[in-house]
Amino acid sequence: MISVSIVDDEPGLRESIATFINGSPGFCCASTYGSAETALQGLPGDRPEVVLMDINMPGMNGIECVRRLKALSPDIQILMFTVYEDTDQIFKALAAGATGYLLKRLPPAKLLQGIQEVHEGGSPMSSSIARKVVASFQIVTPHSGKRPHLSPREEAVLDYLAKGLTYKQIADQLGISIDTVRTYLRRIYEKLHVQSRTEAVAKYLRP
């Protein structure tokens, strides 16, 4: 059972998502919050496995909430769930600590799939968001000499990670074990001076 918390200032949407999650086998809604401020007070105690986070809310926005929440609960997985799809917001959210980025217009089944992927170690993104991330990655890659040196295999692992693949999918693509993928990631974290896959991707893609 994957426990999910929702942070969104629209009561109707918040409750409809909670009802949908509770009615889906293998998922349960641990809590809902209408503001970033109340979420920061309650989520560390709720200990959900995945948080759905809106961006545009009165008071503190979702991106700042992500940053503060990750400082309080580093292991929590946060999935942005928003209408915003501009590149600046995407990378701010990823740099703050979000694990994935989904648009609210996606079908309900895709939302469950995204929650499942985050829980399994992936970084799900709506297709239009993934295209923007990949495009930015392709632009940044020629300047990789400005970053700490990564081996070709480490670059490949990080490339797949940036595209939202799970550890198992990366292992299958490269013909290696999941433990080997984790070993490469530990080396990547050390070289990039980060502590999570989201920080690694954000730092690697940053111009």
Domain count, the chain: 2
Average pLDDT over residues 82-96: 83
Is residue 95 domain-shared with residue 137, that is, in the same domain?
Answer: no
* Domain shared by 17 and 71, yes or no: yes
Pick 169 or 135 by higher pLDDT: 169
Q: What b-and-e string marks burial along 76-104, b requiring 16 or more CB atoms within 10 Å of the CB?
A: bbbbbbbebeeeebbbbbbbbbbbbbbbb
Give the tens place of pLDDT for each residue, 151-205: 889 888 988 887 777 888 899 999 999 889 888 888 888 888 776 666 777 776 6
Q: Give the helix ranges, DSSP H, for the chain.
A: 11-22, 36-46, 62-72, 87-96, 108-119, 127-140, 152-162, 167-174, 178-192, 197-205
| CA angle (138, 139, 145) in 5-degree steps | 95
- From 81, 112, 129, the end of a domain falls on 129
Are 46 and 105 in the same domain? yes
Mean pLDDT within 30-37? 96
| 9 and 80 share one domain | yes
Same structural domain for residues 39 and 115?
Answer: yes
**CATH classification at residue 54:** 3.40.50.2300
- pLDDT score recorded for residue 145: 46
Range of the domain at 153: 132-205
Quick check: 61 and 86 in contact, CB under 8 A?
no
In the prediction, which pLDDT does 63 show? 93
Same domain for 158 and 84: no
| pLDDT tens figures, 179-188 | 898 888 888 8
**Percentage with pLDDT > 90 across the chain:** 42
